[in-house]
């Protein structure tokens, strides 16, 4: 139900070097709806609360809001200081916005011309940067139903490369969370090219059986695949039936191989179990396995061989292998650059189209 808001206090929020003004002195005719209202279209894994708020952590989680009015604001909350969003108004360029800790009301669009407008919000950050919560949206006009998402559904499972780490690196600067860019990730690029919706289910530094620093007591892929909020201290389960994928792309292994090549039987056995779980959870999906963009040499060769053995043991026609080119980043950061990320998406596009007949 829409509600009215009166006299919202003004504040300022620093975002990517800019000062973004927060909605202030709201007009008496301003109305609001909860973030989980049916007129707001959401993409990605999230959790809806009894109060109407929507909480999320994975990169790429998106909200699409349509309205007739001159402005749009959102009441939001972050668990830390490192959550970033992209905001696009009427399909225009993205504005990067930093969500500070605590509850705040952020101006998403202001001084718009009369007529219908659509605003898209996309989470740039990873869960370990902090979770975010959108509570209510506000406008001075009328709420409309947002356009529906594409019918095709993709699920992309992976590590920091899948999450879009360091795509927006700044030459000469110290690395910070503003460098992550889910919208520019290869998974979201593929989804746009294939006219599909997508979930990015990824965690930097994690692998199939161990993390980059050789830990198996953290949430690795078989664990966080099962979660809506991949918080080790307070995980929230995800119901796989709520999102039945047509395509599941798995790009994992770089962090498993960081301490050295893992034992073959341990690794292949874990991968076989994961793939069988994916086949059962997504009975209409094609499963694509790839070694990812960072490994080279004997480590890459070993992972490719492990993937081949996994496919042989699973013995299901819905499981496919797609080779990856190596894109080792640059002197500033070991993650793929924006141009290299574009190349990863382009490399995957043709074989995925052939598999899916899309």
Question: Catalytic residue numbers?
Answer: 160, 333, 335
Using DSSP's 3-state secondary structure scheme, residue 17 falls into coil
Tokens of residue 26, six digits:
């709201």
Can you give the length of the chain in residues?
A: 358
- Angle among Cα 284, 288, 294 to the nearest 5 degrees reads 155
Phi, psi of 214 (to 5 degrees): 70, 30
Q: What CA–CA distances, in Å, run from 30 to 2, 3, 89, 128?
A: 10, 8, 19, 35
276-291 core/surface letters (b: 16 or more CB in 10 A; e: else): bebbebbeebbbbbbb
Summary count for the chain: helices (H), strands (E): 6, 22
Q: What CA–CA distances, in Å, run from 304 to 243, 251, 297, 343?
A: 29, 11, 11, 20
Helices (H), the chain: 160-163, 186-193, 221-224, 264-281, 297-314, 338-356
């Amino acid at each position: 139900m829409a509600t009215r808001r009166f006299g919202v206090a003004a504040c300022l929020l620093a975002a990517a070097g800019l000062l973004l003004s927060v909605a202030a002195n709201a007009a008496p005719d301003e109305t609001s709806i909860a973030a989980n209202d049916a007129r707001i279209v959401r993409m990605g894994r999230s959790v809806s609360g009894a109060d109407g708020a929507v909480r999320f952590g994975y990169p790429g989680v998106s909200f699409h809001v349509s309205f007739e009015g001159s402005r749009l604001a959102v009441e939001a909350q972050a668990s830390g200081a490192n959550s970033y969003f992209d905001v696009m108004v009427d399909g225009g360029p993205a504005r990067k916005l930093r969500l500070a800790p605590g509850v705040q009301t952020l101006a998403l669009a202001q001084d718009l011309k009369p007529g219908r407008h659509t605003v898209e919000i996309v989470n740039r950050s990873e869960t370990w940067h902090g979770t975010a919560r959108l509570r209510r949206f506000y406008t001075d006009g009328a709420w409309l139903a947002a356009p529906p998402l594409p019918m095709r559904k993709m699920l992309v499972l992976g590590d920091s490369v899948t999450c879009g780490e360091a795509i927006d690196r700044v030459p000469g600067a110290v690395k910070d969370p503003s460098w992550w860019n889910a919208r520019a990730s290869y998974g979201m690029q593929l989804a746009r090219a294939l006219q599909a919706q997508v979930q990015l289910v990824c965690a930097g530094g994690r692998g199939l059986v161990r993390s980059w620093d050789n830990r198996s007591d953290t949430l690795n892929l078989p664990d966080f695949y099962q979660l809506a909020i991949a918080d080790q201290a307070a995980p929230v389960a995800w119901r796989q039936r709520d999102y039945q994928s047509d395509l599941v792309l798995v790009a994992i292994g770089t962090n498993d191989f960081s301490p050295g090549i893992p034992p073959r039987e341990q690794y292949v056995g874990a991968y076989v179990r994961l793939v069988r779980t994916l086949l059962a959870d997504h009975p209409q999906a094609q499963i694509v396995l790839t070694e990812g963009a960072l490994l080279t040499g004997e480590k890459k060769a070993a992972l490719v061989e492990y993937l081949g053995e996994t496919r042989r043991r699973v013995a299901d026609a819905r499981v496919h292998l797609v080779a990856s080119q190596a894109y080792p980043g640059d002197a500033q950061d070991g993650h793929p650059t924006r141009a290299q990320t574009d190349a990863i998406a382009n490399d995957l596009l043709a074989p995925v189209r052939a598999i899916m007949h899309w």
